[in-house]
Chain A
Amino acid sequence: MARAESTQDRGAARLAAGPEMISGPAAAGAPPKQRSARRKRIELTILLGPPLILFIGFVFVPMIFAIWYSLYNWNGYGPLSDFIGLQNYQGVVTGSVFHQALLHNIIIAVLSVVIQLPISIGLALLLNRRMRGQTALRLAVFTPYVLSQATTAVMWSMLLSHGGPVDSLLKSVGLAALIHFWLASTSLVLYTLFFVVTWQFIGFGIVLLLAGLQGIPPELREAAAIDGASSWQITRRIMLPLLGPTIRIWIFLAVIGSLQLFDIVWIMTLGGPANASQTMLTYLYFNGAERTQFGYGATVSVVLFIISFVFALAYQRYALRRDTAGALTRAVG
């Protein structure tokens, strides 16, 4: 490849040449290198500066404040004067309702991976085939995701009310025995909410996986078919492995989403009855904001942050490492 003189051309050449070229020794002479180094600094400042300021101002600084508040008994009024050290943390970590809330988040996360994922993959594989009405079907599965969570929650709480449309439907098809207190039963409410969450978010997973499927070159499938592979073999040995990176990203998003579940739960049940659908965030909102125990609420948010952060780091390290290699782990330029 010809040595490109202008930086812009070099950039284009890099893209064309791939990572090997990028990590190779800098080929240009000293003056252009200096110039490009200065230019790179300016570019980095201009491009990274504003988001960095926003990140520090709206993410990092509030986080520091949250940690600071979490060390006080503070109801939001008056000065921060009642320093209580780690007492709030002790309250959170030993609190039985928080344990319940954490358990509920974990149940939702596990159910997402065990139930939502296979359904999403199955539907994505189906919708990836050429068929009549493909676009309409794709649209249909994606529609719930477009609704706001508040709309979904209000709609489903009416549908699922006792003696409501869902119960009437079950009755009319002779399944009256299946009628339950969908939202009023302390043993059932969490699973009802999981169903609603699934209904809303399955479309997102399907679209993500469809995009992953589109990225698999058709030649691979064709070659396998010519070699006599069955349709199941093609799916199992070619499509699913190549879908791996997308699936791993989906799991990441689903688990983080499950840990931060709030809107639907808050509107449909307020975490009740008797804490049976409490999640960490509804717990935070009730005990922090509503009960005006802002120090305590800050503590819950720090604990939630630690849990999410540890999961994210571990997942990046062990599951996503291969997928993001080159993009994140190697210096560019």
Chain B
Amino acid sequence: MRRSPKPVIVAIAVTAAAATIAACSSSSGTSVGSSSSASSSAGGQVTLSWWNNATADPLKGVWVSAITAFQTAHPNVTIQNVPHQNEFFKTNMPIALKSNNPPDIYQQWGGGAEATQIQSGKLADLTQYVSGWIGTLGKAAAGWQVNGKQYGVPYDQHVVGFWYRKDLFAKAGITTPPTTIPELESDNAKLKAHGIAPIGLGGQAQWPDAFWWEYFAVRECSTSVVQQGMTASNMSAPCFSKATKDLTAFLATNPFEPGFNAVTAQSSPTSSAGMLANGKVAMELQGDWEPGEAKGDTTDKSIDSKLGWFAFPAVPGGQGDPSSVLGGGDGWSCTTGAAEPACAQFLQYIDSTEVQKQLVTQASIGLPANPAAESAITSPAVKAAAQAHDTAAYVAVYFDQALPTNPGLALDAAIANFFAGKGSNSAIINSVSSSSGH
């Protein structure tokens, strides 16, 4: 659901993780083993193991009911729901994909990480199975294509933008949200004058820092330069350095809460999402999962109605289209094997309007992958975010996801170091092209 791991409550020692994966792969091993033998039997029975990150309701409930409905419609298919902590997928998929019994369906965020996983040779090319309906998803499906082939399918989309407290903006006398960076800076000054910390930032996790630099880059660089930078893992184009310059100037205005370097992004009242939810900061640059996060971090029942949304402001003189947004999404990949057609059928069902609407209304995912379900969105703020996403000239996938995993995380770390006052523009630019940062 969320694109990035929360600070893990259960930190996994490497050995413990290895033990877990051993246990998991052996259990799924039996199921997959029986499935392949079953699928070759006369009855055509297929069992699919499904690794997802819905460890808790409401998302878990939606998946469980989707399984039941799908199995009723397809009596020959059994889906085995295997939820894992989000963090698990980041670190243990290599091991799972190396084993002889990988899961049949698993959580997939697309982009460069997917391209890296394809090297395992275990990801199914779903192009032929999904060609009939993938078009209904619009541009969302592109993020899960590698070399023009559909190795994954999204079930929701994300867009990053500003979530702000309408009550605090009103208190500071701000009537309309800023549309340019200078306007944002002057609004920050107004908020500060009223004793309100302007912007929350969960700098501990690094990726929230990265959003800032990436957005400045998306505003400074033309779409084609960003695209080339991602495909070539190369950020030597001058506009990327201009992004660092913009960020330096912006940081100099002290827009963030004190001590942001140590603040977590999610899942506690002291996190940046919690600060927004509790009125300790006036805004935060975050994905569309923010309202759901905020709800969990406060006792304020009316938080939803207090939040508004505006797009990342324009940077004067930038080459990028001001309507472009930074985003991404969650999705699935199937692994190679006899069960590919059934797997694709199931993914099609998840992207059906029926299930997609359930995801919006029950699991409050931000944006459904299927645009037909967008009508189910009720929150005006989320609607604004969805609108910006749908009308964007270009949806740039978060750089750490668009790039292969290694340079992607090196970039996050370099940007976070910069925020902590220990980095440099050259460290950011070079982080993606070398394995520096060691």
Partners in one complex: yes
* Interface residues of A, Cβ cutoff 8 Å to B: 75-78, 91-92, 95, 97-98, 149-150, 153-154, 157-158, 161-162, 164, 181-184, 186, 189, 262-263, 266-267, 269-270, 272-276, 284-294, 296, 301
> Is B173 at the interface (CB under 8 A from chain A)?
no
Nearest CB in chain B: distance from A179 CB, A: 11
Contact A181 B262 (CB under 8 A): yes
Cα–Cα, bound, A164→B263 (Å): 12
A162 contacts B259, C-beta separation under 8 Å? yes
Task: State the Cβ distance, A189 to closest chain B Cβ, in Å.
Answer: 7
List residues of chain B with CB under 8 Å of any chain A CB: 7-11, 13-14, 17, 90-91, 94-95, 97-98, 116-121, 203-206, 257-264, 268, 270, 405-406, 409-410, 413, 416-417, 419-423, 435, 437-438
Residues on A with beta carbons closer than 8 Å to the beta carbon of B205: 270
CB contact between B437 and one of A97, A162, A183 (< 8 Å): that residue: A97
Give CA–CA (A291, B263) in the complex, Å: 22
> Could you say which residues of chain B place their CB within 8 Å of the CB of A285?
14
Q: Which of A149, A181, A293, A301 contacts B258 (CB 8 A)?
A: A181
| Contact present for A272 and B94 (CB under 8 Å) | no
Q: How far is the CA of A75 from the CA of B408 in the complex (A)?
A: 14
B437 to chain A, nearest CB (A): 7
Does the CB pair A291–B406 fall under 8 Å?
A: yes
Cβ-defined contact, A95 with B94, below 8 A: no
CB distance from A327 to the nearest CB of B (A): 28
Contacting B270 at CB < 8 Å: which of A161, A284, A288? A161
Q: Which of A164, A276, A287, A292 contacts B94 (CB 8 A)?
A: A292
Would A275 and B417 be within 8 Å (CB), given that A266-B11, A269-B262, A284-B14 are in contact? Answer: yes
B312 vs chain A, min Cβ distance (A):
24
Would you give the shortest CB distance from B248 to chain A, in whole angstroms? Answer: 16
Please measure, in the bound complex, the distance between the C-alpha atom of A288 and the C-alpha atom of B119, giving whole angstroms: 18
With A76-B94, A274-B421, A287-B438 given, is the CB distance from A263 to B11 under 8 Å?
A: yes
A76 partner residues in chain B, CB cutoff 8 A = 94-95, 98
A137–B366 alpha-carbon span in the complex (Å)? 52
Known contacts A158-B268, A272-B206; is-contact A293 B435 (Cβ 8 Å) = yes
CA distance A182 to B438 in the complex (A): 26
Please judge, given known A-B contacts A76-B98, A77-B98, A164-B270, whether A186 and B420 are in contact too, CB under 8 Å.
yes
Contact A273–B416 (Cβ < 8 Å)? yes
Assess whether A183 is in contact with B262, with CB atoms less than 8 Å apart.
Answer: yes
Are A291 and B409 neighbours in the complex by a CB distance under 8 Å?
Answer: yes
What is the CA–CA distance of A275 and B423 in the complex, to the nearest angstrom?
A: 11
Measured CB to CB, the nearest residue on chain B to A300 is B438
Interface centre among B8, B406, B438 (most CB of A within 10 A): B438
Q: Which residues does chain B contribute within 8 Å of A284, judged by CB atoms?
A: 14
User: Taking each of A263, A274, A294, which has the highest tally of chain B beta carbons within 10 Å of its own beta carbon?
Assistant: A274
Q: Separation in Å of the B416 CB from the closest CB of chain A?
A: 6
- 25 pairs from A and B in contact (CB 8 Å cutoff): A75-B94, A91-B438, A97-B438, A150-B9, A150-B10, A150-B11, A157-B262, A157-B264, A162-B257, A183-B261, A183-B262, A184-B262, A189-B262, A263-B11, A267-B9, A269-B204, A270-B204, A272-B206, A272-B261, A273-B416, A274-B420, A275-B417, A276-B422, A290-B405, A291-B409
Contact yes or no, B422 A274, CB < 8 A: yes
Contact A184 B259 (CB under 8 A): yes
Alpha-carbon distance between A289 and B423 when the two chains are bound, in angstroms: 23
CA distance A191 to B410 in the complex (A): 26
> Which residues does chain B contribute within 8 Å of A154, judged by CB atoms?
9
List the 7 shortest-distance A-B pairs measured between CB atoms, nearest first: A76-B94, A183-B262, A274-B422, A273-B261, A274-B420, A184-B259, A162-B259
**Chain A residues whose CB sits within 8 angstroms of the CB of B264 once the complex forms:** 157
Min CB–CB distance A281 → chain B (angstroms) = 8
Complex: A184 Cα to B258 Cα, angstroms: 9
Whether A290 pairs with B420 at a CB distance below 8 angstroms is: no
User: Judging by beta carbons under 8 Å apart, are B423 and A274 in contact?
Assistant: yes
Roughly how many angstroms separate A293 CA and B270 CA in the complex, as a whole number?
33
Within the assembled complex, what's the spacing in Å between the Cα atoms of A296 and B410?
A: 14
In the complex, the answer to whether A75 meets B262 with C-beta atoms within 8 Å is: no
With a cutoff of 8 Å between Cβ atoms, the chain B residues found around residue A292 in the complex are 94, 116, 405-406
CA distance A272 to B206 in the complex (A): 9
Residues of A within 8 A of B14 (CB): 284-285, 288-289, 301
Chain A residues near B117 (CB-CB < 8 A): 77
Measured between beta carbons, the chain B residues less than 8 angstroms from A150 are 9-11
- A164: chain B residues at CB < 8 Å are 270
Asked if B405 and A291 make an inter-chain contact with CB atoms under 8 angstroms apart, the answer reads: yes
Min CB distance A261 to B, Å, is 11
Asked whether A273 and B204 contact (CB < 8 A) given A186-B420, A293-B406, the answer is: yes
Contact call A273/B420, Cβ cutoff below 8 A: yes
Could you tell me the distance between the alpha carbons of A184 and B422 in the complex, rounded to whole angstroms? Answer: 13
Question: In the assembled complex, which residues on chain B have CB atoms less than 8 Å from the CB atom of A186?
Answer: 261, 420-422
Tell me whether A294 and B94 are in contact (CB under 8 A). Answer: yes
How distant is B168 from chain A, measured CB to nearest CB, in Å? 17
- Whether B116 and A77, one on each chain, are in contact in the complex, defined by CB atoms closer than 8 angstroms, is yes
**A161, B12: Cα distance in complex, Å:** 23
Q: CB-CB < 8 A to B416: which residues of A?
A: 272-274
Q: In the bound complex, how far is the Cα of B420 from the Cα of A273, in angstroms?
A: 6
Whether the pair B405, A162 counts as a contact (CB closer than 8 A) is no
Residue pair A273, B120 in contact (C-beta under 8 Å): no
> Chain A residues with Cβ under 8 A from B94's Cβ?
75-77, 292, 294
Q: What distance in Å separates the Cβ of A93 from its nearest Cβ neighbour in chain B?
A: 10
Of B261, B264, B417, chain A has the most CB atoms within 10 Å of the CB of B261
- Provide the bound-state CA to CA distance between A291 and B121, in Å: 20
| Residues on the A chain within 8 Å of B120, using CB | 77-78
14 additional contacts (CB under 8 A) given A189-B262, A289-B17: A75-B119, A150-B10, A157-B262, A157-B270, A158-B268, A181-B262, A182-B262, A183-B261, A184-B261, A263-B11, A266-B11, A272-B204, A273-B261, A290-B409
Q: Which residues of A contact B11 (CB under 8 A)?
A: 149-150, 153, 262-263, 266-267
Task: Compute how far the CA of A196 lies from the CA of B117 in the bound complex, rounded to whole angstroms.
Answer: 38
State A229–B36 Cα separation when bound (angstroms).
81
Closest chain A residue to B416, Cβ basis? A272
Contact present for B438 and A183 (CB under 8 Å): no
**Which residues of A have CB within 8 Å of B97?**
77
* CA–CA, A183 and B202, complex, Å: 13
Complex: how many Å from CA A290 to CA B260? Answer: 23
> Which residues of A have CB within 8 Å of B8?
266-267
- A184 to B420 alpha-carbon distance, docked (Å): 9
Instruction: Report the separation of the CA atoms of residues A290 and B5 in the bound assembly, to the nearest whole angstrom.
Output: 11
Q: Are B438 and A289 in contact, CB atoms less than 8 angstroms apart?
A: no
- With a CB–CB cut-off of 8 A, which chain B residues contact A296? 435, 438
Note all chain B residues with C-beta closer than 8 A to A183: 204, 259, 261-262
B280 closest partner in A (C-beta): A163
